[in-house]
Structure 1
Amino acid sequence: MKCLIIEDNEFLREALMMFLRGVAESETAGDGREGVDRFTAALRQGHPFDLVLLDIVMPEMDGMQALRLMRQAEKEEGSPGRKSVIIMTTSLNSPANMEEAMWDGDCTDYLVKPVARADLMAMLHRHGLL
């Protein structure tokens, strides 16, 4: 599985990479703009990410903006009918934010921080990635 972790907090990026060690080839980005660029480049090269872990609150470009741009890139650059599993990560336990991400942004699922490895693995199983 190929994974992109988009998270501005270096400690959390490293923790997520450690959680996925042995189950995913992970790349990272420190903000939404860099994440969208990596995501789009992978689509263009024909090697899209299977999984994206996307923080909502980040500098430069927030996760909601990045989510919309990644879904748009999939429509324009990707294979028809194929979408990456995009899991939003947030410390904001806000139903309004999650509703916006799920319905308006077309994210696959979300995890509230701090993310536990067991919760992440269960979610990957649920979405057929493990």
Structure 2
Amino acid sequence: MKILVAEDDFASRNFLQFLLKKYGEVDIAVNGIEVLEAFRAALESKEPYDIIFMDIMMPEKDGLEAAKEVREMEREFHVAAANEVSIIMATALSDVKTVFKAFNKSEATDYIVKPLTVDTVHAKLIEMGLLNDK
């Protein structure tokens, strides 16, 4: 599995990288612009990402806008719906309005509320069918 972690907070980024590396290759981005650069490079090399864990609030380009542009890029590259990357938005904001905005504006696949734990991340991956329940 190829995973992109997009998180501007050093501790959260390191936690996710450490946790997710047992599931596959993990790349890092610290803002939305880096997400788009990494995502385009992966598509061009025909080694697309399977999952993006993306913080909503990031500098330079927020996660909502970056996720929307990821979907636009997938359409540009004619990625079939069944092969689209799973985008899991991570947010410290648990209010319904923010979550609703994330899905409508960005076409995110799912979300997870911070603080992230080993159990919540693992459970989310199982719930989304990205991991077996083991």
With normalisation by structure 1, the TM-score equals 0.95
**1:83: Cα distance to partner?**
0.7
Looking at structure 2, the residues matched to 66 and 78 of structure 1 have their Cα atoms a distance apart, in angstroms, of 18
Matched, 1:80 2:58: no
DSSP-derived class of the 1:22 partner: coil
Other-structure match for 1:61: 61
Looking at structure 1, the residues matched to 24 and 99 of structure 2 have their Cα atoms a distance apart, in angstroms, of 25
1:102 and 1:108 in contact (8 A); partners too: yes
1:44 and 1:78 in contact (8 A); partners too: no
2:64 and 2:105 in contact (8 A); partners too: no
Other-structure match for 2:120: 119
Identity rate, percent: 35
**1:4: Cα distance to partner?**
0.1
Other-structure match for 1:89: 90
Aligned pairs for 1:96-115 within 5 A: 96-115=97-116
1:67 and 1:107 in contact (8 A); partners too: yes
Looking at structure 2, the residues matched to 15 and 78 of structure 1 have their Cα atoms a distance apart, in angstroms, of 33
Q: Aligned residues, how many?
A: 130
**1:21: Cα distance to partner?**
2.5
1:31 and 1:58 in contact (8 A); partners too: yes
Task: Please identify, of 60-69 and 18-27, the stretch whose mean Cα deviation from structure 2 is larger.
Answer: 18-27
Looking at structure 1, the residues matched to 106 and 89 of structure 2 have their Cα atoms a distance apart, in angstroms, of 10
Give the letter aligned to residue 32 of structure 1.
G
Distance 1:37 1:125, change over 3 A: same
Task: Give the gaps of 5 or more residues in structure 2.
Answer: none
With normalisation by structure 2, the TM-score equals 0.92
Give the letter aligned to residue 48 of structure 1.
P
Looking at structure 1, the residues matched to 62 and 105 of structure 2 have their Cα atoms a distance apart, in angstroms, of 15
Give the letter aligned to residue 88 of structure 2.
I
Give the letter aligned to residue 42 of structure 2.
A
Looking at structure 2, the residues matched to 125 and 112 of structure 1 have their Cα atoms a distance apart, in angstroms, of 16
Give the letter aligned to residue 16 of structure 1.
L
Task: Please identify, of 46-55 and 96-105, the stretch whose mean Cα deviation from structure 2 is larger.
Answer: 96-105
2:4 and 2:51 in contact (8 A); partners too: yes
**1:78: Cα distance to partner?**
4.4
DSSP-derived class of the 2:90 partner: strand
Matched, 1:25 2:25: yes
Looking at structure 1, the residues matched to 64 and 39 of structure 2 have their Cα atoms a distance apart, in angstroms, of 15
